[in-house]
Structure 1
Amino acid sequence: MIGQPTTHPAVATSSGRAAQSGLYGWIVFALSFGLLLSDYMSRQVLNAVFPLLKAEWSLSDTELGALGGIVALMVGLLTFPLSILADRWGRVRSLVLMAALWSLATLGCALADGFGQMFIARLFVGIGEAAYGSVGIAVVLSVFPRHLRASLSSAFIAGGAFGSVLGMALGGALSAHFGWRWAFAGMALFGLVLVVVFRLAVTEPRLQARRQALGEEAETGSREPAMALRPLLAALFSARSILCAYVGSAMQLLVMGALITWMPSYLARYYGMATDRAGVVAAGFVLAGGVGMVLCGAMTDWIARHAPCRKWAIAVTYSLTCCILLLTAFRLPAGSAQLALIGAGMLFVGGAAGPASAAVANLTRPAIHATAFATLTLANNLLGLAPGPFVTGLLADHIGLSGALQVVPLASLLAAAAFLAGRRYYAADLLRLEGRHEAGAPGTTN
């Protein structure tokens, strides 16, 4: 890990005052959000060059799906252990190391000479990105008041959609003008620059000063020893409603991941668009998904401000609306009506992310938030983002890409069912876990 710099007392005092201000919280959010953009730009730039790689290396849709899915698979497998380490070793140092690794691995993608080398490079992209989402959102939530959790969670998670937009649009443009290798190289350089800026501006002492100014308990350090594995697992999995949040979020992201991955190829095959044009149009759909995440999160906080249990019903509504719109869209012939319905469906495809993240935050203690969000990320990737692109590619090889995309939105029905179950258990789980916390056992605070 990269060590923390030694700070002069006078500088530390000045930094402490800055960290206590609301402005510093937004600086942390902006830089963490920027790294999340880099994360997904490096991940999703591949989608923009699918047609070029398919032609140059004679790849099947299943192989293309594997290149897309391996990143999410590594994120799912490694996010939990790496997030536990980040909670103990220091979140800032961990974030810097992660971002440096995925940026260098993306540069390796630019140098790949075949499917095997590209697969290995993409694997290391996934290792670097594994715990960023969970640790990054824990850092962001630590410097803001609790009542903003759903809005901040949605806005932060939406960075994945916005990063996908930039990765696909810029990747398509760079590949059209300079070749697909420069698309990967451009994403890598952007990430490395952000790593340096983040490392200079964000430190553990400044984060702790901001948290103390908000009156929150210490997340790391001497106030509280690291939680043993058994009570940690109990805190993460004992509540039935938190399990429902994991599953519901993952099923919705299966749909979103499949669409983000395959929309450039769908537009190229069924609308005859060139690589750069398909990348830009697909990026527009992903942008709709990101905007929808932010709007849905803000709407959720507003509607449920006096009744938190409403967040579950709102998540069900988002999932069902998405399912109906996308199922209808992909059964229409290619044309403006289909594109309009796909865009409408994308507004709701990530809407449940905010309510699910807020539920996870409310059902766990701040000291283990990075690990809790790691568990959510694990579910999102192993059950959603990893199988989504791969299963879609597998189906496409048998029934065509259009047929595959007519099946994928059905996962939203599973998401709605999970959120309905979570709504049933949420209030009782909160009371039980708060009772544990008051008794001194691992639990939660609302």
Structure 2
Amino acid sequence: MALPISAGVVAPASPLSRVSRVFPWVVFTLTFGLLLSDYMSRQVLSAVFPFLKEEWGLTDTQLGSLTSIVALTVGILAVPLSLVGDRWGRVRAIVVMAVVWSLATLGCALAAGYGHLLASRLLIGVGEAAYGSVGLAVVLAVFSAKRRASLTGAFMAAGSFGSVLGVALGGVLATHFGWRWAFAVMGIFGLVLAGLYWAMINERKLTAHKIDDGVESGPSLAAGEQRARLATLFSTPAVVFAYLGGGLQLFITGSLFAWLPSYFNRAYDMAPDRAAKVAALYILIIGAGMVVCGMITDRVGQTRPVGKWTVAIVFGALTLAFLGAGFAMQPGGPQKLLLAVGCFFAAGTTGPTGAMVARLTHESIRATAFGTLTFFNNVLGLAAGSLVTGILADRFGLETAMRYVPLVAVVAVVLLIAGRQTYPSSIRRLEPATVADAPNGDPA
């Protein structure tokens, strides 16, 4: 029986209300930490490229394949494994994935040659395949939809920050202890975080803290449906353009992640450990840009939701302008400055495209929707960027190859423009009532 509260007397906060304010940030912190581990395990390879090239005599195409095999595996398996996460339980899926990629990273430390290392890298991709999509679905479920682009940008920025740690720490470890220790440390770190996640987060707590504030909550389910149909993942032109435009823009990011250490090593004649540290700074700038661009997107989208597409288009155009000019210049201070600005915007579309995919798909299959986005991000973006750049580097040299990379932003911008044009009609197709209710007549 509920007890009445006298006028002027404030009821003390219940333990649940206190936990409600803290638990979402616990979820974000640990899920963010595992994505750090994910990319530390993935990108530490870039720091040891010079060591592998010298010890095993690998070509740039082979080095690029060691990077792209992870992203390609992630892309191929993202959707089916994200679907498993939606059905089997997101927390259990996250812990199992983290254990798999961590053990596979330890396997890299034991590799006896290119074939063994390639197989271990493939297993890393199996473990990481659905982590970004399932992890992001977990995070967005316990926060207001008003923060969607900011949280998406901040969460996915863990990829850049993890790459920074992987490249910088990997370069130091490889120089002082040998390249095998670089992989071993990353694997141990992932196993520790997986144990913490299992101890502190479970499905019951996630359900108790789930937020449904009715703001851009996604399309409604048909009467009698408990889960949206998988066909709705591609039910509107706008969501397809978000997949394609966001994925192609990350072609540039994938190339930068994989090849910046080698670029500074060759173009500036830096030692491998110093080149790794300098490249890590630029990758850190990419991560900072993802966070800031996501915040800008949410601010613009509060009054004009279609503006989220506009800012994504602007971010892509700025990437083309600054990276294109930077890689066309001779090595030196001005080039470094232009590359820094271009890196800031290179992955700025991540927040906007993630927010659009969330808006255009239902929460019940959101991990699968983000898995679909992950497929395009990896197959068109991260996998293609590292491999194609490696092939071009073998033929024309790495400095020349990097000059071609920013041109992919042209196609990405065209696709995002198409997405902006089709967004209003896509929203009307999903929920006709939202158009009349939206401010300034824009779809919500």
Q: What's the TM-score, normalizing by structure 2?
A: 0.91
Q: Secondary structure in 1 aligned to 2:348? A: coil
Shift in Å at residue 304 of structure 1?
Answer: 2.3
Tell me if structure 1 keeps the 8 A contact 2:86–2:367. Answer: yes
1:96 correspondence with 2:91: no
Paired position in structure 2 for 1:232: 230
RMSD in angstroms over aligned alpha carbons?
2.1
Instruction: Note if contact 1:19-1:206 (Cα within 8 Å) is conserved in structure 2.
Output: no
- What's 2:115 paired with? 116
Contact 1:20 1:209 in 2 (8 A): no
Could you say which residue in structure 1 is the equivalent of 2:67? 68
Does the C-alpha gap of structure 1 residues 365 and 79 become closer, same or farther in structure 2, counting only changes over 3 Å?
same
Q: 1:432, CA displacement in angstroms?
A: 1.0
Corresponding residue SS for 2:416: helix
Q: Residue in 1 aligned with 2:145? A: 146
Partner of 1:195: 194
Kindly state the Cα deviation for residue 212 of structure 1 after the two structures are TM-superposed: 5.7
Q: Which moved more, 1:189-198 or 1:297-306?
A: 297-306
**1:133 positional shift:** 0.3
Gaps of 5+ in 1: 1-14, 438-444
CA contact (8 A) 1:174 1:182 kept: yes
Q: 1:238 to 1:51 in 2, by over 3 A?
A: same
Instruction: Using the TM superposition, give the Cα deviation of residue 436 of structure 1 relative to its aligned residue in structure 2, in angstroms.
Output: 10
Matching of residues 394-405 of structure 1 within 5 Å: 394-405=391-402
Q: How does 1:224-373 map to 2 (within 5 A)?
A: 225-227=226-228, 231-233=229-231, 235-373=232-370
Q: Any conservation in 2 of the 1:16–1:206 contact (CA below 8 Å)?
A: no
Aligned equivalents of 1:430, 1:61: Cα separation in 2: 45
Taking structure 1 as the reference length, what is the TM-score of the superposition?
0.91
Asked whether 1:211 is paired with 2:210, we answer: yes
4+ aligned runs moved over 6 Å, structure 1: none
1:214-270 CA-to-partner distances (Å, cap 9, x unmatched) read 6899x9xxx96444xxx312x111200111101111111000110110000011111
Q: CA deviation at 1:20?
A: 5.5
Q: Does 1:136 align with 2:132?
A: no
8 Å Cα contact 1:19-1:209 kept in structure 2: no
1:178 counterpart = 2:158:
no
Amino acid at match of 1:265: S
User: Can you give the 5+ residue segments of structure 2 that lack an aligned partner in the other structure?
Assistant: 1-13, 435-442
- Distance of aligned partners of 1:325 and 1:212 in 2 relative to their CA distance in 1, 3 Å threshold: closer
Conserved 8 A contact 2:43-2:258: yes
Amino acid at match of 1:307: R
Amino acid in the other structure paired with 2:423: Y
Cross-structure match for 2:420: 423
How far is the alpha carbon of 1:213 from its aligned partner? 8.0
| Contact 1:290–1:347 (8 Å) recurs in 2 | yes
Paired with 2:50 and 2:133, the residues of 1 have a C-alpha distance of 32
Going from structure 1 to structure 2, the CA distance change for 1:18 and 1:125 (only over 3 Å counts) comes to farther
Distance of 1:86 and 1:250 partners within structure 2: 22
**Cα 1:127–1:19, aligned 2, differ >3 Å: closer, same or farther?**
farther
Distance 1:368 1:22 in 2: 26
1:236–1:215 CA distance, 2 compared to 1 (3 A): closer
Q: Is the 8 A contact 2:142 2:211 kept in 1?
A: no
**1:168/1:280 contact within 8 Å kept:** yes
Instruction: Look up the equivalent residue of 2:406 and give its one-letter code.
Output: P
Does the aligned pair in 2 maintain the 1:143–1:214 contact within 8 Å?
no
